[in-house]
């Protein structure tokens, strides 16, 4: 097995297990804590980011699974994309599938981080943070690649 696959699998399993453990603990043991800047409060998100599309509550898990299936087919047909972004993809898949599992297990995504210092922000979870991290990594890699291509074009002329 290629080292990229091994590392991707390790990242996937690690993030998935940690996220599911923390969510289970919040649901089962009431880990609610109030803090001056951020609190830990159990909340259920029936939609996606910022509870958008919550009217699709019953169908979101299937829509999201379909999106994951389409993305997987794309990656199988375009392996170079996977190998280029395998770390970000493994983070994205683990976090996304963890949130989808929540929909099947709890009927909604389990959220618990509540930022309230200076302004109130949406309640979110580790998987949400990881999804944003993965997207940021992809964007940064794209910017780096565009700069490199631009620099190579300037050198040729």
Active-site choice (19, 32, 34, 111): 111
**Eight-class DSSP state of 116:** -
Q: In this structure, are residues 129 and 52 in contact, taking their beta carbons and an 8 Å threshold?
A: no
Question: Does residue 102 carry a catalytic annotation?
Answer: no
Active-site choice (19, 32, 102, 128): 128
Q: Helix, strand or coil for residue 111?
A: strand
Strands (E), the chain: 38-45, 109-115
Q: Helix, strand or coil for residue 138?
A: helix
Tokens of 34: 């109030």
Active site residues: 111, 128
């Amino acid at each position: 097995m290629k080292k990229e696959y091994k590392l991707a699998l390790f990242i996937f399993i690690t993030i998935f297990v940690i996220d599911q453990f923390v969510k289970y603990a919040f649901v089962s043991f009431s880990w609610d804590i109030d803090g001056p800047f951020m609190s830990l409060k159990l909340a259920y998100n029936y939609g996606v980011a910022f509870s958008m599309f919550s009217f699709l509550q019953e169908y979101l898990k299937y829509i999201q699974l379909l999106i994951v299936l389409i993305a997987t087919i794309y990656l199988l047909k375009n392996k170079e994309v996977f190998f280029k972004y395998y770390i970000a993809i493994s983070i994205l898949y683990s976090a996304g599938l963890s949130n989808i599992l929540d929909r099947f297990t709890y009927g909604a995504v389990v959220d618990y981080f509540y930022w309230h210092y200076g302004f109130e922000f949406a309640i979110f979870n580790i998987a949400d943070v990881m999804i944003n991290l993965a997207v940021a990594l992809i964007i940064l890699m794209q910017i780096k690649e565009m700069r490199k291509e631009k620099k190579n074009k300037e050198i040729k002329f």
